[in-house]
Amino acid sequence: MSFLVSHEWSLVVFMGVISAIALTNLVAMRRLGRHPVLRESPAVSVLVPARDEERNIVTCVESLLRQDYPQFEVIVLDDDSHDGTGRLLQAIEARSQGRLRVIRGAPVPPGWLGKHWACHQLAGEAQGKLLLFTDADTVHHPSALQDAVAALEAEGAGALSVLPRQVVGSWGETLVIPILSWTLHTFVPFVLPRRTPTAVGQFMLFRRDVYAAVGGHKAVRAEVLDDLALAHNVHRAGLGWAFLDGSRRVTTRMYHGWRETARGLAKNLFPVFHYNIPLFLFVWTWLLWLAWQPLVVLGLRLANNALPEEILAPAAVTVGLSLLTWALAAVRFRLPLVQVPLYPVTVLLVTGIAFRSLLWHLRQRGTWKGRGIHVQGDGVA
């Protein structure tokens, strides 16, 4: 029993460390909108790849056209959509007074993933000194572009990415999506110099020369996680990468409903570990243990006194610190507070999705929006 008590206190120590990281990040993770406005405004090309986005595209594009930035263009690429995306884009373009340009995407060539090819084409059409790649399911505050450019200059960076506010609708989304913000806010110590850059592909702003210097999307054309790959390339080249909290300026609802959420996350949860199976297994086993073991201990102790009394305190502290980290992320990023006490369910569900991701990628059967997500040789699996 002494081993079990010692183990419980080791969990307290671990949770104490990551709770300290989360508390520090309340200050250390800089927020978009806190940098001084620039006197000069370099021209920005806002680039949006869109495939089967009729549900989101109007709100996204209209929010971009309302930006209060003085010099920008918006270019949307219709990536062989099979729904009403193209028709909706044509209608917006017709009334945009030349502020929106819609282009049709060319067929995806061998060796490329679809979205990366779309972004590559968009970059080739852009005229601005700065390139903003943003997803079609994002919505932007009128000052989002102004604040992002100001942050890029103030940070002295060659490129930056921000974490948008993740909007949820269904219970499936509510239980699962918060783990993305929680992970970044709890495990990434932004107070320390970053050896490995962080990125979210929903919003990435590049200086044009930096994007070209690292080879752009062509250099990462077969990477499932192009955002992290681009960030790594910029960081490795010593060109400066910044990552900020953009939750007050950019929002997104990535998925609608449980089925879409599970499929969307399964696309990414194994690649984020660089396909390292031992690391993947360790992390998800540890997170599952951390979320559930103290609760099981408390339940056994309170139900029938099956465990020693001295185990009660460390188990309760571990649960309390876990609740603290989830609550801090929920408040910081305006996530549903109802999810906080349900965090063990969140971890259980996401662990299941993660193992689905593992099987997808090992079998190379993953698809998204009708396309394969694996490049084999000169083609896409």
Q: Tens of pLDDT along 36-45?
A: 888 889 999 9
**Which DSSP state fits 211?**
H
Whole-number pLDDT of residue 372:
61
pLDDT at 228 over 70: yes
pLDDT at 56 over 90: yes
d(C-alpha 222, C-alpha 213), whole Å: 18
Sign of the CA dihedral with 183 first, then 184, 188, and 190 last: negative
pLDDT at 375 over 70: no
Q: What are the chain's domains?
A: 29-168+180-253 (3.90.550.10)
- Confidence at 16, pLDDT banded by 50, 70, 90: very high
Whole-number pLDDT of residue 371:
62
Q: Tens of pLDDT along 133-172?
A: 999 999 999 999 999 999 999 999 999 999 999 999 999 9
pLDDT at 24 over 60: yes
Contact 128, 204 (CB under 8 A): no
Q: Tens of pLDDT along 162-171?
A: 999 999 999 9
SS3 assignment, position 360: helix
Angle, to 10 degrees, between the axis of helix 312-332 and the axis of helix 277-304?
Answer: 120
Whole-number pLDDT of residue 374:
56
- Confidence at 328, pLDDT banded by 50, 70, 90: very high
**Which DSSP state fits 167?**
-
d(C-alpha 22, C-alpha 188), whole Å: 8
Phi, psi of 203 (to 5 degrees): -160, 105
For residues 1 and 50, the model is more confident at 50
In the block, tokens 């109802």 appear at 338
Whole-number pLDDT of residue 381:
39
Q: Tens of pLDDT along 162-209?
A: 999 999 999 999 999 999 999 999 999 998 877 779 999 999 999 999
d(C-alpha 356, C-alpha 258), whole Å: 14
User: Residue 112 carries which side chain, given as an amino acid letter?
Assistant: W
Closest listed residue to residue 171, CA positions, set 339, 43, 301: 339
pLDDT at 93 over 50: yes
Average pLDDT, the chain: 93
Regarding pTM above 0.85, the answer is yes
d(C-alpha 282, C-alpha 284), whole Å: 6
pLDDT at 380 over 60: no
- Confidence at 301, pLDDT banded by 50, 70, 90: confident
Q: What would the mean pLDDT of 238-263 be, rounded to a whole number? A: 96
Q: Tens of pLDDT along 336-371?
A: 999 999 999 999 999 999 999 999 888 876 665 666
Whole-number pLDDT of residue 308:
78
